[in-house]
Amino acid sequence: MKLHLKIWRQNGPSAPGNFKDYEMDHVSADMSFLEMLDVLNVTLVKKGETPIEFDHDCREGICGSCALMINGNAHGPDTGTATCQLHMRRFKENDTIVIEPWRAKAFPVIKDLATDRTAFDRIMAAGGYISVNTGNAPEANSNLVGKDTSERAMDAAACIGCGACVAACKNSSAMLFVSAKVSHLAQLPQGAPERAKRVRGMVTQMDQEGFGNCSNTGACEAACPKEIKLENITRLNREMVRAAFTE
């Protein structure tokens, strides 16, 4: 398959970036999207050019490293998948594919398609944990959690922190990410004691990092590779109101 690629090239955080055109021939439909970029990088290296920088790690949709805007879609056109799970069979002969880094001021470009997402780590450090010593796994029946609650918490815990929600949001808001972390912990007996302190800390840090505000459009939910639900944002709002009346 023959493809026309328009890829964002940017030398460093403060350098101006622009799109560069690349032509690719003989792309196999069985390749993953990242393998296609690997092949392109090999040809660039052979020609003596600088390869394209992009983030990747596990390549099986769990680590949250890969992060590409593909034709304006975070993680490409498929729903519920990360960039690494996207395959070239999704594209047709002679397609033009526009590849960009995540779009947000709070995620500055490091180089080309790689962005600095440590803002998420700082939000996590502001309360996305429980303050207890972890030891061996406790006896299963010592902490009873209802099935519905555990399912909701588990669904929220599926967030891999890739930042697709921020990239897809027209406001670059990190609400879906923060709400997933808050929802995950606030509903469980281990996380409940610190829920007010946690939500205050995480939301304050989120605002300081320069993410935008939620306007409830739902673009984040559509882009999320782990299908984190919008109702988590409702829960975050509720937690924040609750925290306003808690010491």
Partner 1 sequence: MASIKLFLKSSVGRKFLVGITGLGLSGFVLTHMAGNMLMFVGPEAYNTYGHKLITNPFIYIAEVGLLAIFFVHMGLALCLALENKKARALAPSQKPSNCEKDARLGSRYMVHTGILVFVFVVLHLITFKYGPYYPVSYHGVEMRDLHRLIVENFKSPLYSGWYLFSMVILFSHLVHGFSASFQSLGFFSVRNCLIKKMGWAFAFIIAGGFFIQPIYGYFYGGN
Beta-ladder partners of 11: none
Q: Which is nearer to partner 1, 38 or 78 (CB)?
A: 78
Classify 60 as helix, strand or coil: coil
Q: In this structure, what token pair is assigned to residue 69?
A: 């805007």
Closest by CA position to 22, among listed 46, 52, 48: 52
Interstrand relation of 114-115 and 96-100 (parallel, antiparallel or unpaired): unpaired
- Nearer to partner 1 by Cβ, of 79 and 149: the residue is 79
Given the complex with partner 1, which of 138 and 170 has the nearer CB atom? 170
One of 51, 71, 153, 194 touching partner 1 (CB under 8 A):
71
Residue 13 in the binding site for partner 1 (CB under 8 A)? no
CB 26 → partner 1: shortest distance, Å? 27
Q: Which of 4, 132, 215, 227 binds partner 1 (CB under 8 A)?
A: 215
Strand boundaries in 135-239, DSSP class E: none
Q: How far apart are CA 125 and CA 63, in angstroms?
A: 18
For residue 99, list its beta bridge partners: 7, 70
CB neighbours (10 Å) of residue 89? 12
Q: Give the position of tokens 């944990």.
A: 129
Is 60 or 247 the residue whose CB approaches partner 1 more closely? 247
Query: Contact between 241 and partner 1 (CB under 8 A)?
Result: yes
CB of 60 to partner 1, least distance (A): 22
Burial of 134 (0-12, 13-18, 19+ CB in 10 A): exposed
Cβ-based nearer residue to partner 1, 85 or 172: 172
Q: Does 221 bind partner 1 (CB under 8 A)?
A: yes
- Using CB under 8 A, which residues numbered 128 to 167 contact partner 1? none
List interacting residues with partner 1 (CB under 8 A).
8, 16-19, 69, 71-74, 77, 79, 100, 103-106, 168, 170-173, 175, 196, 200, 203-204, 206-207, 210-219, 221-223, 229-231, 233-241, 243-247
